[in-house]
């Protein structure tokens, strides 16, 4: 469940606790490591926070810029992490061996917020009967988009939402009217029948002679003229004058 509105409307509501997760991606970073951390402390001497059974390590970190404004632009928050003892630099060096110049770009960053009263009982010396790992604000998900600076003191990244399309051109593939762009008999094409045709859509007797003509008529010949065709192009392009 989410945090009850009645709790937020109290004259002295419980303190808001902010936690962070950084998820690496094996295909990009060579590992699927998850880093969990927060910037505060709690009643337990080690300063770590346990939420839903996971430990979030107390670490010098600053995340800002999550606010939305009315001009239609998506927020691009900033994540600044201490580089004491070159801890972050060592991670970047390891990742960059797998993907040169990556600098953790593409890693998923999750911002978690809840109230102190709902934290796991392990966070309190006397326990917590009101612990509820489901009581949190909606999670905010971003991705590390650009390393801004790396120094001996800290490393800073700019974050972007998954649907932030700044700088992205649409459409992502070229609009062609009469030439299918799918590979014949691929997943996108989806034609798997044991009926074969040549490039002119004439029946042939062997798979060796099976060639797609890449036309809309080629698609209709194989799937049927009344079927929903997976034609990998845009037949409507150019039908209307500019």
Give CA–CA dist 142/154, Å, rounded: 20
Higher pLDDT, 130 or 44: 130
Higher pLDDT, 46 or 171: 46
Q: Is the pLDDT of residue 112 over 60?
A: yes
**Residue 236 confidence (pLDDT):** 77
**Residue 241 confidence (pLDDT):** 47
Q: Which residues pair with 157 in a beta bridge?
A: 79, 147
As a whole number of angstroms, the longest Cα–Cα distance in the chain is 81
What tens digit of pLDDT does each residue of 177-209 get?
Answer: 789 999 999 999 999 999 999 999 999 999 999
Exposure string of 208-221, with b = 16+ CB inside 10 Å and e = fewer, is: eebebbbbbebbeb
Q: What is the pTM of this model?
A: 0.68
Three-state helix/strand/coil letters over the chain: CECCHHHHCCCCCCCEEEEEEEECCHHHHCCCCEEEEECCCCCCCCCCEEECCEEEEECCEEEECCCCCCCCCCCCCEEEEECHHHHHHHHHHHHHHHCCCCCCCCCEEEEEEEEHHHCCHHHCCCCCCCCCCCCECCCEEEEEEEEEEECCCEEEEEEEECCCCCCCCCCCCCCCCCCCCCCCCCCCCCCCCCCEECCCCCEECCHHHCCCCCCHHHHHHHHCCCCCCCCCCCCCCCCCCC
Stretch 32-53: mean pLDDT = 87
Give CA–CA dist 32/74, Å, rounded: 27
**Residue 242 confidence (pLDDT):** 46
Give CA–CA dist 78/221, Å, rounded: 54
């Amino acid at each position: 469940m989410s945090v009850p509105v009645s709790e937020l409307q109290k004259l002295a509501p419980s303190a808001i606790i902010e936690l962070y997760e950084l998820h690496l991606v094996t295909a990009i970073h060579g590992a699927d490591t998850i880093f969990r951390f927060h910037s505060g402390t709690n009643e337990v001497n080690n300063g770590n926070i346990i939420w839903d059974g996971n430990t979030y390590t107390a670490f010098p970190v600053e995340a800002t810029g999550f606010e939305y404004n009315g001009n239609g632009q998506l927020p691009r928050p900033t994540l600044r992490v201490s580089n004491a003892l070159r801890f972050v630099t060592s991670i970047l060096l390891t990742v960059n061996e797998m993907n040169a110049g990556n600098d953790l770009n593409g890693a998923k960053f999750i911002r978690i917020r809840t109230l102190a009263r709902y934290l796991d009982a392990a966070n309190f010396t006397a326990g917590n009967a009101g612990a509820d790992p489901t009581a949190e604000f909606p999670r905010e998900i971003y991705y590390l988009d650009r390393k801004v600076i790396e120094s001996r003191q800290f490393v800073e990244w700019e974050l972007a939402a998954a649907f932030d399309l700044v700088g992205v051109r649409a459409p992502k593939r070229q609009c062609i009217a009469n030439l299918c762009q799918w590979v014949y008999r691929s997943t996108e094409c989806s034609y798997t029948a044991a009926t074969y045709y040549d490039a002119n859509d004439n029946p042939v007797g062997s798979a060796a002679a099976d060639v797609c003509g890449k036309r809309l008529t080629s698609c209709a010949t194989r799937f049927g003229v009344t079927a929903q065709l997976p034609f990998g192009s845009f037949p409507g392009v150019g039908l209307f004058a500019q």
